[in-house]
Structure 1
Amino acid sequence: MRLLLGIVTLLFVTFGCAKKEQNPSNTTAQSTRVESPSASCDAKVIPGSYVVRWSSGYLQKLESWTSQEIDSVLVAQYSDYIELIEPNYRIDVPKTFSEASILSTQNSPDDAFWGVKNIEVEHVWSKGFYGQGVVVAVVDSGVDLTHPNLVGRIFTNTAELNGKEGVDDDGNGYVDDIYGYNFADRNPTNVDEAEHGTHVAGVIAANHDNNFVRGVAPQATILPADFMSAVSGSTASSIEAIDYSVKMGANIINASWGGPGCSAELKRTIEALAEKNVLFVTAAGNEGLNLEYYDVYPAKYNLSNQITVGALGTIHLRTWFSNFGNPVDVLAPGERIISTVPGGFSRQDGTSMAAPFVSGIAALYLSKYPQMKVSDLREKIVSSLVTGPYRIKTNGTVVLPEDF
């Protein structure tokens, strides 16, 4: 009865005035799509958890429901108001290849900055473009808000900062989200237990105050949208984090994660970003697979507002672990990348490290051309390349053009 009460309450709030609208098709779906998991997705299903997209646009996560209850309650009684129902799937924290943390800042390894040198970014900095005025959402495992190289780079929600504790001062549906939000634990506490999101954030926007890390766009703003714990997150939480990022003004979303193509709603959410002029940058994955024959998503969605990034190694070849094939748009440095982690720095390998180089490049372009359309931004990035035998769509690795 408690579950049914929640549904009835939602219907009253969301659809109570639906009959007053002149065009009922705005609120009533033709039919409800109930997505069933494929064999490859079975292992990723979170038992009893479902994602519901109501025809009003509202996204709801249901917990502790059986498939019989879904059929007898939602499908049988409320299908006119629902666009899609699908299982909630687990998204694992990406496996990266890392060395022991580097805690000393006295001596810089010889290859500390090979990534930023490889993308030829210094001349862009010399022209005064550092990503200023651009918000990059790191939809990931969280960001260490106190890291010295990220202080001053974290998004601040001034309405919540200057408001009352425990109150949703800006009316965005989230209480006290001063520095982003934790969708995994459903609170405003941002903790990077996986040491993944902080590393990604540092590649994008770490300041240049030490001998270890230089963010590609060191004046860009990082919006932490944490949806993964130390081990995993879910498609429902990732979708909510993406929606939140757009609501809070993100220009670019970095998604250094992936898995089987289980969620139709995740694809719909990413595709809809194009209408909001938001670029979606995602990692190709670390399985060493040809994505023309294997499924890894969101890498393989092939959307007009998306760039899928594989990993370039220090010897200027595609790394052994990087996925490849036509779904991969470009390569970026993804081996022996030193960046920020909670408490210090570490060197990591992975396409998770390559994607934020592209997000940083996108931020540099938007700092010069703030009104640029996402289609033009994407074209700028995927057409400025050094080509090689990489076996990807463009056969190129990203660089900043001399005439930037």
Structure 2
Amino acid sequence: MLGRAGGDQSAGGTVPAFWSRILSSYSRSSQPSRSTIQPGEALKEALRPTDALNPKRRNRYADDYVLAGFNEGDRLRINLTSNRFDPFLQVINASNGKVLQQNDDISRTNTNSRINLVAEAGIEYRIRVTSYAPFATGAYNLAIRALSSAPSNPSDPGSISNFNFSYGYGLVDAAAAVAAAAGRAPFATASPLGGNAWGLDMINAPAVWNQGYTGQNVVVAVLDTGVDYNHADLRGNIWQNPGEIAGNGIDDDGNGFVDDVRGWKFVDNDSNNPMDQDGHGTHVAGIIAGLNNGVGVTGVAYNAKIMPVRVIDGRDDGSYRRFDRNVADGIRYAVDNGAHVVNLSLGNYPGDPDMTRTRAALSYARDAGVVVVMASGNERQDGARRPIQPAYYALDDLGIAVGAVNSSRRVANFSNPAGNLPLDFVVAPGVNIRSTVLRNSYASYSGTSMASPFVAGVAALMLSANPNLSPAQVEEILKATAVTQGVQA
């Protein structure tokens, strides 16, 4: 974890119906929808002029979903997002048509909708998707997750259903996640690689490769200290801007950045050279997409492309405002130039001002369908009880946060915990991870900065298997397939 977060530590079958429901859409007539949705599901649909009008909001179209698969006392979070219209969410009592709860905007700066519902016995709930403005139409995402199942001790973080204070939803499992993304039965296990590749074995990456999913056609932006794009284990996987001609001093593709043939540097003085001078970003890049060339290291998604975006390691890091601005600008650059996944192994210090520009950029990425993976921070020994920003924005469904475990599946003593409030959070290998560094060398680093790129790599594998996944679907699958067995807090 670099930037304002401080440095890392260095050291010498049948497909379950659940997934077909997550990955499919529903077709409806002009009558109100009666499709079923249950906790753990996410779907993508659209309001259309052929939909029925909402009897509770005049001149607004509406889709209804019957809530199923819950128990009395369950605490559920219902999220409705759209970048096509201002969504409005309602929970209806189906027996009498009464509106039990409704929400327009999550906050003053977030026009999406969210409802937290405590399920009661004897009520048939309908989740109604509608709009704030009259006759609005367009695509939306609806997702429901369980926050708890009537815990016997609500004050105990470990009592939250499927969510643990230290490790969130558990250890990421690439094989299970990619199989689910592809709508396939679980993959056969693969022989372990052993040695320094223990992290790849732990997340079952080789089993995914054996099925032909290696990150092909996926671009992962590494927002960091830059990337050594000349490293022998990386240069074949460095993103090239197809619309730019190198060295002609012209913004050929009209994106506002001259000669950005392989990314951009935002920290201090802007330039078209995102070369790494520190090694941190190069290490992160190797974990994601180090070449499978028989030497050095192999990345989780070894056929993905790395987009280097240098946003830290400069004088600007000493300013809250400039640090926030650089990260936000880097996210927007990555989104606008074709990244499918963004990795943020960086963050602020606990107690620093909110990263408001970065939050807005994360929302921009979300609306554009870009997956964002963020390191949770390394301040647990200093008393941290939750992720730092921007990882904590996972609470607002703006990405997924990642903590670190060691080779024994124990949460690292430095790894910031998931916290008391359920948010999108998993763990991945992050202690003594060997990867690429400067001058064609390799080194072992520790930190949540190393764990985050493992998950970014898994997201790339998922998108190589199913490029139509939304960020919400990627996150739901990562959480639902995460492993808790053997993970030690």
Whether TM exceeds 0.5 here: the answer is: yes
| Deviations, residues 135-173 of structure 1 (Å, cap 9, x unaligned) | 1100111000100111221110122136x6111111111
Offset of 1:367 from its aligned partner?
A: 0.3
Offset of 1:386 from its aligned partner?
A: 1.6
| Deviations, residues 182-215 of structure 1 (Å, cap 9, x unaligned) | 1113111122122111100000000122444110
Instruction: Report SS of the residue matched to 2:284.
Output: helix
Structure 2 match to 1:116: 200
| Deviations, residues 347-402 of structure 1 (Å, cap 9, x unaligned) | 0000000000000000000001011111111111111122058688xxxxxxxxxx
Q: Is the 8 A contact 1:204 1:356 kept in 2?
A: yes
Q: Is the 8 A contact 2:289 2:301 kept in 1?
A: yes
Offset of 1:240 from its aligned partner?
A: 0.8
Q: Is the 8 A contact 2:231 2:438 kept in 1?
A: yes
Separation in 1 of the partners of 2:443 and 2:474? 31
Inter-CA distance 214–167: structure 2 relative to 1 (3 Å threshold): same
Structure 1 match to 2:270: 186
- Decide which of 364, 374, 395 is 1:272's aligned counterpart: 364
Structure 1 residue 256 and structure 2 residue 345: aligned? yes
Instruction: Compute the RMSD of aligned alpha carbons.
Output: 2.3
Q: Is the 8 A contact 1:290 1:323 kept in 2?
A: no
Separation in 2 of the partners of 1:256 and 1:231? 18
Structure 1 residue 338 and structure 2 residue 438: aligned? no
Q: Is the 8 A contact 1:91 1:232 kept in 2?
A: no
The more displaced of 225-234 and 286-295 is 286-295
Separation in 1 of the partners of 2:382 and 2:417? 5
Structure 1 residue 96 and structure 2 residue 8: aligned? yes
- Decide which of 290, 311, 315 is 2:408's aligned counterpart: 315
Structure 2 match to 1:288: 380
Instruction: Report SS of the residue matched to 1:246.
Output: helix
Offset of 1:261 from its aligned partner?
A: 4.5
Instruction: Report SS of the residue matched to 2:244.
Output: helix
**How many aligned positions are there?**
294
* Aligned positions of 1:72-87 closer than 5 A: none
Structure 1 match to 2:62: none
Structure 1 residue 384 and structure 2 residue 481: aligned? yes
- Decide which of 389, 396, 401 is 1:303's aligned counterpart: 396
Inter-CA distance 223–374: structure 2 relative to 1 (3 Å threshold): same
Deviating runs (4+, > 4 A) in structure 1? 289-295, 388-392
For 1:336, the aligned partner's letter is N
Structure 1 residue 137 and structure 2 residue 231: aligned? no
For 2:425, the aligned partner's letter is D
Q: Is the 8 A contact 1:136 1:363 kept in 2?
A: yes
Structure 1 residue 149 and structure 2 residue 221: aligned? no
Structure 1 match to 2:129: none
Structure 2 match to 1:400: none
Inter-CA distance 291–373: structure 2 relative to 1 (3 Å threshold): farther
* Structure 2 residue runs without a partner (length 5+): 13-192, 318-322
Separation in 2 of the partners of 1:356 and 1:261? 26
Inter-CA distance 214–165: structure 2 relative to 1 (3 Å threshold): same
Q: Is the 8 A contact 2:278 2:313 kept in 1?
A: yes
Structure 1 match to 2:250: 167
Instruction: Report SS of the residue matched to 2:243.
Output: helix
| Deviations, residues 102-151 of structure 1 (Å, cap 9, x unaligned) | xxxxxxx9631010000011111011110000111001110001001112
Structure 1 match to 2:183: none
* Aligned positions of 1:329-368 closer than 5 A: 329-343=425-439, 344-368=441-465
Structure 2 match to 1:205: 289
Instruction: Report SS of the residue matched to 1:98.
Output: strand
Offset of 1:275 from its aligned partner?
A: 1.0
Could you state the TM-score of these two structures normalised by the residue count of structure 1?
0.68
Separation in 1 of the partners of 2:330 and 2:249? 20
For 1:382, the aligned partner's letter is K
For 1:288, the aligned partner's letter is R
Could you state the TM-score of these two structures normalised by the residue count of structure 2?
0.57
Separation in 1 of the partners of 2:255 and 2:264? 12
Instruction: Report SS of the residue matched to 1:387.
Output: coil
For 1:266, the aligned partner's letter is T
Structure 1 match to 2:17: none
Separation in 2 of the partners of 1:118 and 1:317? 12
Q: Is the 8 A contact 1:93 1:230 kept in 2?
A: no
Separation in 2 of the partners of 1:231 and 1:117? 39
Separation in 2 of the partners of 1:205 and 1:347? 16
Q: Is the 8 A contact 1:305 1:375 kept in 2?
A: no
Inter-CA distance 217–110: structure 2 relative to 1 (3 Å threshold): closer
* Structure 1 residue runs without a partner (length 5+): 1-89, 101-108, 393-404
- Decide which of 162, 170, 177 is 2:260's aligned counterpart: 177
- Decide which of 287, 308, 330 is 1:241's aligned counterpart: 330
Separation in 2 of the partners of 1:133 and 1:279? 15
Offset of 1:264 from its aligned partner?
A: 1.7
Q: Is the 8 A contact 2:384 2:416 kept in 1?
A: no
For 1:249, the aligned partner's letter is G
For 2:375, the aligned partner's letter is A
Instruction: Report SS of the residue matched to 1:274.
Output: helix
Offset of 1:294 from its aligned partner?
A: 5.5
Percent identity among equivalent residues?
Answer: 35
Inter-CA distance 278–320: structure 2 relative to 1 (3 Å threshold): same
